Amino acid sequence: MLLGNVVALSQTSMKRMLAYSSIAQAGFVIIGLLAGTTDGYSSMVFYLLIYLFMNLGGFTCVILFSLRTGTDRISEYAGLYQKDPLITLGLSLCLLSLGGIPPLAGFFGKIYLFWAGWQANLYGLVILGLVTSVVSIYYYIRVVRMMVVKEPHEMSEAVKNYPDVSWDLRGMRPLQVGLVLSVVATSLAGVLSNPLFTIANDAVVNSPILQSSLESTTTVATIKPVINVDAR
C-alpha cells in the first residue's frame, strides 16, 4: 500500500501510475486475506470483483487516448472533456472509484476490507490503509481535475490536435463496449454493494477450500493458549 501509492504520486505516465496504484490495491486486498475470517474473505472477493471493472475501465480509457494521441503523459490529458466526453466520464468514474470516493463501488469495497481488518485486530494495517487511501485520492483527482476543469486555452497540444471520435474503426467497437460495461458496473456496484457482498459471502461460506482454511485458523488460535498454559 505504502510503496505503490508513494511511487504513483511521482509518475508522469498514466500507464505507470495505474500500474503502481495496482500494487497499492493489492495491499488493500491483503488486509482481507490476513484477517482470516469469513468477513475478511468475503470483502476480499467483493473488492476483487469490482476492481476488475474499475481497472478494466481505467486501462481502456488510457489505451483509447494513447491510440488517438500517441502519448500517455498525464499532462496531455488537459481539457480532454471538450474533445472526448465519453473517455473523460469513464476515466473519471473509474479513478474516483479506485480512490474510494462515495458512492462509487471502490468506497464500499474499502469499507468492507477495513471493517474486516479492524474486527480481526489488524489496527495498524487498517490505519495505514486509510492514510494511503487519502494519498491515492490526491493523484486520482489530479487527473480528473486536469481533464474536466481546464479552460479551453489551457488544453494540451495532444488534445488540441485530437482526431474526430469514430467507433467504426477496426478494433474500436470492443473497446467501446468494454468501457461502457466497466462504467456501468462501477456505478451500479456502489448502489448494489449490499446484495453483491451477500453473494460474495455466500460464495465463501459454500467454498470447501476457504472453509477448511477458516477452520484451521480457528483451531490454531484455540490451541495456542492451551500450549502456553501447559508450558507453565
Q: What is the pLDDT along the chain (232 residues), one digit of tens a residue?
A: 788 888 888 888 898 999 899 888 988 999 988 988 888 899 999 999 999 999 999 998 998 899 888 888 998 998 888 888 889 999 999 999 999 898 889 999 999 999 999 999 999 999 999 999 988 899 899 899 888 876 777 788 888 888 887 767 676 778 788 888 888 888 888 888 888 888 888 888 887 776 676 666 555 444 444 444 444 4
Residue 182 structural domain: 2-190
Note whether residue 228 is domain-resident.
Answer: no
191/193 Cα distance (integer angstroms): 6
Predicted pLDDT of residue 215? 64
Question: How many domains does the structure of the chain reveal?
Answer: 1
Predicted pLDDT of residue 153? 73
Phi, psi of 183 (to 5 degrees): -65, -45
Predicted pLDDT of residue 175? 79
Give the type of residue at 151: E
Note whether residue 201 is domain-resident.
Answer: no
Q: How far is CA 157 from CA 69, 87, 126, 138, 140, in A?
A: 9, 17, 42, 24, 22
Note whether residue 43 is domain-resident.
Answer: yes
Residue with cell 491515492: 136
Predicted pLDDT of residue 229? 43
Quick one: cell of 86?
465519453
Note whether residue 152 is domain-resident.
Answer: yes
Contacts of residue 169, Cβ cutoff 8 Å, sequence gap at least 6: none
Note whether residue 99 is domain-resident.
Answer: yes
Note whether residue 38 is domain-resident.
Answer: yes
Burial class (CB in 10 A: 0-12, 13-18, 19+), 104: buried
SS3 of 102, please? coil
> 14: number of CA atoms within 13 Å, CB side?
29
Give the type of residue at 66: S
Note whether residue 196 is domain-resident.
Answer: no
Predicted pLDDT of residue 159? 86
Note whether residue 40 is domain-resident.
Answer: yes
144/188 Cα distance (integer angstroms): 20
